Amino acid sequence: MFQASLLDADEVGVNPLGSSVRRVPLRDGAWVDLRPSWITGADTLFQRLLTDVPWQAGNRRMYDRVVAVPRLLAFYREGMALPDPALDEMKRLLDAHYAEELGEPFTTAGLCLYRDHHDSVAWHGDQYGRGRHEDTMVAIVSLGTPRPLLLRPRAGGPALRYELGHGDLLVMGGSCQRTWEHAVPKSARPLGPRVSVQFRPTNVR
């Protein structure tokens, strides 16, 4: 069960970015930006997304078999209405903060629901589009039960572990999608649900 915070405000708010964002340079031209507690009223938003998003089970081909993706998904393509006004506000603030560096807006929102500790995402880079060849950014907002996001360099070397908490923002940038991989591993310990919201520019997935 996810334990809601007693101190969290009911009203959902998205805090300014600016100097509250801490950049961590990684090897090979990648970086991550961290902004803990970006969202206030995160309990309320988490409950709204659990209820309002049309979560779907996904499949993927693995060799000659089709296997269930171990998490629920919802994808909002460019131009689609987002499921909650707080996501519009997140996108607005991300666009304002990163416009110059990214050179384009964030246009899509991918949402994942990790129902419990069995759900996960395996090691990968977001390489279905331009992320394979070009520097880009993927912004992740985490809500609900904290889960580690692991990052490891494709060239080899130890993995880094970012504990993504309720309302935290992490942005992967630079060459991160092609020179590093990321994963959210299963946990041996029972865990409550987590929602991840990922904002990406056009043709990055």
| Binding region for ligand AKG (CB under 6 A) | 110, 112, 121, 126, 140, 149, 182, 184, 196, 198
Q: How many Cβ atoms are within 10 Å of 73's Cβ, its own excluded?
A: 15
The number of helix segments (H) and strand segments (E) in the chain equals 3, 14
Kindly state the smallest distance separating residue 69's Cβ from ligand AKG, in Å.
Answer: 9
CA 135 from centroid of its chain's CA atoms: 17
Question: In this complex, which beta carbon is closest to ligand AKG, that of residue 91 or of residue 182?
Answer: 182
Nearest residue relative to ligand AKG (C-beta): 196
Kindly state the smallest distance separating residue 172's Cβ from ligand AKG, in Å.
Answer: 9
* Interatomic CA distance for residues 86 and 48, integer angstroms: 10
* Interatomic CA distance for residues 151 and 51, integer angstroms: 30
- β-bridge pairing 138-144 and 168-174: antiparallel
Kindly state the smallest distance separating residue 114's Cβ from ligand AKG, in Å.
Answer: 7
Question: In this complex, which beta carbon is closest to ligand AKG, that of residue 14 or of residue 195?
Answer: 195
Question: In this complex, which beta carbon is closest to ligand AKG, that of residue 17 or of residue 149?
Answer: 149
* Interatomic CA distance for residues 80 and 82, integer angstroms: 6
Kindly state the smallest distance separating residue 12's Cβ from ligand AKG, in Å.
Answer: 19
Question: In this complex, which beta carbon is closest to ligand AKG, that of residue 7 or of residue 136?
Answer: 136
CA 33 from centroid of its chain's CA atoms: 12
Question: In this complex, which beta carbon is closest to ligand AKG, that of residue 184 or of residue 191?
Answer: 184
Kindly state the smallest distance separating residue 11's Cβ from ligand AKG, in Å.
Answer: 25
* Interatomic CA distance for residues 186 and 99, integer angstroms: 34
